[in-house]
Amino acid sequence: MVDVNADTFAEARYKAIDHILHTSLAGRGHHALTTSDMLDRVFLHKRLGIPVFLSLMWATFQFAFAVSEPFMVMLESVFGWLGGLFGEPLTPLISLWADGICGGLGFVLVFIFPIMFLFIALAILEDSGYLPRAAFVMDRLMYRLGLHGRSFIPMLMGFGCNLPAIMATRSIDGERDRLITILINPLMSCGARLPVYVLIAGALFGAYAGSAIFSMYVLGIVLAIIMALLFRKFIPSLRGKPAPFIMELPPYHRPDVKSVLLYMWSRAVIFLKKAGTILLGGALVLWFMASFPWGRGVESSYVGMLGHILEPLVSPLGFDWMAAIALFFGFLAKEIVVETLGILYGVGGSGAITGAVATHMTPVTGLAFMAFTLIYLPCLATVGIVKAETGSWKWTGFMVLYQLVLAYVVAGIIVVVGNFIIGVL
């Protein structure tokens, strides 16, 4: 490691000055504008910066959803064929294969495509050097809304997975800032929730699916901001000195194909590992509960019984007992929500899953369900990490509670407003 000295820092400062001036001063003439300077005049622009960021984010989600669709369909057919290999699920063993493994686990594995494509896009944005600019323009806004500048990276990581994101909050100095960032981090829609959105939006929103999914991410961000402001106001707060925002602007460069693919692959591997363990386990448990007592049909199975107990809790929102079960098991891992629906709709005898979704939910209910999944509480592993990082059951419990309440409230609002709009049209 090359030793640092005063020159290292001086050099960096002069570079920063050059860059600042190229972005804010015209007419310097004798200094040639570099490409980075030119790009930053727009990406860091006081008015254009944020809209451009939002547009790029929207394009990212459009890409991830639309382009992955055909691949998902192809893989679905493969699992469908695999499931049908042994004929009708007349015995528990065949059912285990067809409905449990292929129907449940296989169904969720299909979502590896949107996840892969989403992360490819994010990796490109990251590798090109754009993300620090996004952090800077968003930071100005975030700071005014009570969020800490150093929260941006953990928040951004939260879009991948909330668990490492919460661990990353260690870089935040102020205890209050750190706590707030942890509390709102699960509102950053993690990769595991994406399958839920893709399924529901794909089934109910047709051409607007990409936008519906995008709106969930936006909703998460908006709620995070609101909650952060509320927490700051009502929790006895420490008026500590906010740490400065560290502005790092690496030069732009062409994204390296290898690193982009590596990054995407590492995320895919995480998903596959999860699939092989928790999701498979969850699928098996679910299948068991849904199929036994044997031969009695889904509604009268163990899971049906559980579902009917839970149903009154969510029926005001328009969710049926299957949705309730899906959300219940979703506590283990968010992908299980989709897996559960796959098993329940499948075991219940419905044909194509997306068609099944359409018969169980209206667009309004679907949107509310997506929002509920976004907010209601993070997966078990994340709750565990929150306890570890905050060292407090009190705060962990508070987080779970406020998220459940908020989920109800928001889903409720969506249902009420949505039905009102439909009624009016």
Partner 1 sequence: MDFKNIGLYTALIGAITAIVGIFEILFVFTGSELWIPADLFGGLALLVIAAVYLSGIGELFTKKEEGLSFALTGTILTMVFGILYTLMAGADWLMYTLGEADEFLIISELRPEILISIAALPLTIYLFKRKSSPTE
Partner 2 sequence: MKGGKIVIRVALIGNPNVGKTAIFNNLTGSRQHVGNWPGVTVEKKEGKCTHKETEMEVVDLPGTYSLEAHAIDERIARDYIIDEKPDVVVDIVDASNIERNLYLTLLLLELEANVVIALNKMDLAASKKYEFDIKELSLLLGVPVIPTVAKTQSGMDKLRDAVLDAAVRKDKHRKVTVGYGDDLEARIKEVEDLILTDTYLANTYPPRWLAIRLLERDDSVMDWISLSPKRDQILEVARW
| Residue ranges that bind partner 1, judged by CB under 8 A | 26-27, 32-33, 35, 37-43, 45, 48, 51-52, 54-56, 58-59, 62-63, 66-70, 73-74, 211, 214
Q: How far apart, in whole angstroms, are the C-alpha atoms of residue 121 and residue 60? A: 6
| Of 6 and 32, CB closest to partner 1 | 32
Q: Of these partners, partner 2, partner 1, none, which one is at the site of residue 32 (CB under 5 to 8 Å by kind)?
A: partner 1
Residues that bind partner 2 (CB under 8 A): 1, 3-6, 8-9, 12-14, 16-18, 20-21, 23-29, 44-46, 132, 140, 143-144, 149, 171, 173, 239, 241-250
Q: Of these partners, partner 1, partner 2, none, which one is at the site of residue 425 (CB under 5 to 8 Å by kind)?
A: none
For 33, left (φ over 0), alpha (ψ -120 to 50), or beta?
A: beta
CA-CA distances (angstroms) from residue 298 to 170, 287, 325? Answer: 46, 10, 12
Enumerate long-range contacts of 65-74, CB under 8 Å, 24 or more apart: 65/114, 65/198, 65/201, 65/202, 65/209, 65/210, 65/213, 66/210, 67/117, 68/113, 68/114, 68/116, 68/117, 68/198, 69/202, 71/113, 72/110, 72/111, 72/113, 72/114, 72/198
Structure token pair of residue 424: 């009016």
Q: How far apart, in whole angstroms, are the C-alpha atoms of residue 348 and residue 346? A: 5
CB of 26 to partner 2, least distance (A): 4
User: Residue 334: what are its φ and ψ, rounded to 5°?
Assistant: -60, -30
Q: Of these partners, partner 2, partner 1, none, which one is at the site of residue 241 (CB under 5 to 8 Å by kind)?
A: partner 2
CB of 409 to partner 1, least distance (A): 26
CB of 293 to partner 1, least distance (A): 37
| Of 177 and 339, CB closest to partner 2 | 177
| Of 6 and 207, CB closest to partner 2 | 6
Q: Of these partners, partner 2, partner 1, none, which one is at the site of residue 55 (CB under 5 to 8 Å by kind)?
A: partner 1
Q: Of these partners, partner 1, partner 2, none, which one is at the site of residue 44 (CB under 5 to 8 Å by kind)?
A: partner 2
Amino acid present at 210: G
Among 323, 321, 320, CA closest to 337: 323
CB of 221 to partner 1, least distance (A): 15
CB of 55 to partner 2, least distance (A): 20
Q: How far apart, in whole angstroms, are the C-alpha atoms of residue 88 and residue 287? A: 16
| Of 170 and 273, CB closest to partner 2 | 170
CB of 252 to partner 2, least distance (A): 15
Amino acid present at 248: E
CB of 119 to partner 1, least distance (A): 16
Q: Of these partners, partner 1, partner 2, none, which one is at the site of residue 59 (CB under 5 to 8 Å by kind)?
A: partner 1
CA-CA distances (angstroms) from residue 417 to 230, 271, 368, 423? Answer: 24, 36, 11, 10
